[in-house]
Every structure is written in structure tokens, then in C-alpha cells.
Amino acid sequence: MQLRTITVFGALFALSAVAQASDSPVGTWKNIDDETHQAKALIQISQDADGELSGRIVKLLQHPDAVCDKCDGELKGRPVLGMTILWGLKQDGEAWRGGKIIDPKSGSVYSASLKVLDGGRKLDVHGYIGISLLGRSQVWERQ
């Protein structure tokens, strides 16, 4: 009887962990180029001890030697591979807000928000200037 109880609790714990993971943007995501519609990069999103999210490029699928020519400051001319492109996001209900995202192609920095979709398989990444209604979204795919 005890073995059955342990097995049931173990299964419930595993299901709970999967459900929590599907609600979190933490993990590896593939983004798609808006112009070519080809897979562009893999971005690893992590969470620090304060609950803040950041994301860095861990693999470039099209131009592995790309550098951020149009970036300002310390990022100018730096390799895109390994670059932190997403930072400062904090959970706000079902979304993550208050952060920034940089487009390494243009060097532009935007305000950002994230929302997990489709049972954790997709991530709506919204970049904007000013109010969030003015901007654009990309849908990234969990890897």
C-alpha cells in the first residue's frame, strides 16, 4: 500500500513540475526571421534569484559569425552569438513585463513583454516603444 501511495505522489509531483514549466518562459526558444521566415537563432531564457528573466543567443542558425555593427556602446562590433538580447523582465500575472529587448540587426532597443502560449510550446515576444499597443510581436517556439 505504501508503494502505491509513493508512486501516486511521485506522479502528481512530476505532473505539477511539467505544468509549472509550461507556464514559464525559462528554457530554449527558436525565433524566426520576420523577412525570410527562416529559423534565425536559439535563445536561452533564464531566471535569476530575484525572479528576473534574461535571454541570450546560444546558437545562430543563419550567420554564425554575425556581429552587432549597428549597436551602440559596448555592444558595437561584438559577436551576436552569446549576446544578451533580453533582460529585466518580471512576472506580472500570466505575462512578464518591464524588460528590454535589443534587435542585433538594427541595434535598436525596445521595451519588452513575454507571454507563454499554447501550453508552453510558444512564446509571444512583444517589443514596443512607448505604450505596448504600438509595437510588434514575434512568436518563438520552445526547443
Q: Which pLDDT value is given to residue 2?
A: 54
Read off the pTM: 0.82
Q: What CATH number should be reported for the domain holding residue 117? A: 2.40.128.520
Residue-wise pLDDT tens for the chain (143 aa)? Answer: 554 544 444 443 443 344 445 689 999 999 998 888 999 999 999 999 999 999 999 999 999 999 999 999 999 999 999 999 999 999 999 999 999 999 999 999 999 999 999 999 999 999 999 877 778 999 999 99
* Amino acid, res. 11: A
Domain that holds residue 73: 2-142
Question: Which pLDDT score is estimated for 78?
Answer: 97
Q: Are 86 and 101 in contact (CB under 8 A)?
A: yes
Q: What total of structural domains would you count in the chain?
A: 1
Q: Report the distance separating Cα 50 and Cα 69, nearest Å.
A: 32
pLDDT in tens, 26-66: 999 999 988 889 999 999 999 999 999 999 999 999 999 99
